[in-house]
Amino acid sequence: MPQPSRRRPGPRQPNAGERPGVISAITKCWETEALRRVTNDAMDVAGGAGICKGARNVLAPIHEGVPIGITVEGANILTRSLIVFGQGAIRCHPWALREIQTAQADDVAGLDAALAGHATFALRNAARAFLLGLTGGAIAGVPASGRAGAALRELAQLSAAFATITDAAMLTMGGKLKRAEAFAGRMAVLPQAGQSVVQVVFAQPSPLGLLAHA
């Protein structure tokens, strides 16, 4: 299903003169994968009517077009491996891009400040991940209660661990991170799972609604 959090800001940014490369890559990747799943499910429901070509078969053209959307303008496996996590980690990080810019500009003072900020940020993330892991996320502040709150606290715990792993990967792998395609591809799909949890929680705030998606 199309994700509102991506559909709303994505089309507006080019109109404002921005070039949202990472957001557009994520949108293209996840929406075409969603189309593949929906089309496959529709073919299962249609059965033979989805296989026999003809004017009344509305699924066959869509089924044939799905691989085009997945492979054209950057194959999804390439998008996941190089763009979603590789570029996303740099652009979403509060210090990584600044470190690159100051290093390219030979700004020693700015680079020192960025490195110090990065170290502080990484240590704070590690401490938060440790405390949330130790308490099972119980100390995380979440805007819900009951089963929804429990799901969001667990998500906060996993998010802190994800941020810590990302900082550790950037520290140990450096520029090789974008070329570590297997690792980057696995890291790229984790935020999507977390986003799905949030959308389910707030779309179905009742315990019964949440259990229906478990």
What does the pLDDT look like over 84-104, one tens digit per residue? 787 777 877 888 888 889 999
Residue numbers of the domain that contains 5: 1-74
- Assigned domain for 86 exists: no
Instruction: Specify whether 106 is located in the same domain as 154.
Output: yes
214 shares its domain with 164? yes
From residue 105, alpha-carbon distances to 76, 109, 140, 162 in Å are: 34, 11, 39, 30
**99/205 same-domain check:** yes
Instruction: Give the catalytic positions in this structure.
Output: 73
Predicted local distance difference test score (pLDDT) of residue 130? 93
Indicate left, alpha or beta for 9 from its phi (over 0: left) and psi (-120 to 50: alpha).
alpha
> What is the Cα–Cα distance from 62 to 119, expressed in whole angstroms?
49
Is the pLDDT reported for residue 152 higher than 70? yes
How many structural domains are present in the chain? 2
pTM over 0.75: no
Same domain, 33 and 137: no
Neighbours of 45 (CB within 10 A): 9
Average pLDDT over every residue of 65-70: 86
Distance between CA atoms of 193 and 75, rounded to whole angstroms?
20
In this structure, the answer to whether residues 197 and 102 fall within a common structural domain is: yes
Q: Is the pLDDT of residue 50 over 90?
A: no
Q: Is residue 151 part of a domain?
A: yes
| Pair (43, 115) in one structural domain | no
Largest CA distance in the chain: 68
Range scoring the smallest mean pLDDT among 102-111, 137-146, 194-203 = 194-203
At 131 the pLDDT is: 93
More confident residue, 63 or 21: 63
Q: How many other C-beta atoms lie within 10 A of the C-beta of residue 126?
A: 16
Whether 1 shows a pLDDT value over 50: the answer reads: no
- DSSP string of the chain, one letter each residue: ---HHHHTHHHHHHHTT---HHHHHHHHHHHHHHHHHHHHHHHHHHTHHHHS-STT-SSHHHHHHHHHHHHTTS-HHHIIIIIIIIIHHHHHSTTHHHHHHHHHTT-HHHHHHHHHHHHHHHHHHHHHHHHHHHHTTTT---S--HHHHHHHHHHHHHHHHHHHHHHHHHHHHGGGGGG-HHHHHHHHHHHHHHHHHHHHHHHS-SHHHHHHT-
pLDDT at residue 127 in the model: 94
Same domain, 70 and 113: no
In terms of domains, do 117 and 178 share one? yes
Task: Band the pLDDT of 211: cuts 50, 70, 90.
Answer: very low
Q: Is residue 82 part of a domain?
A: no
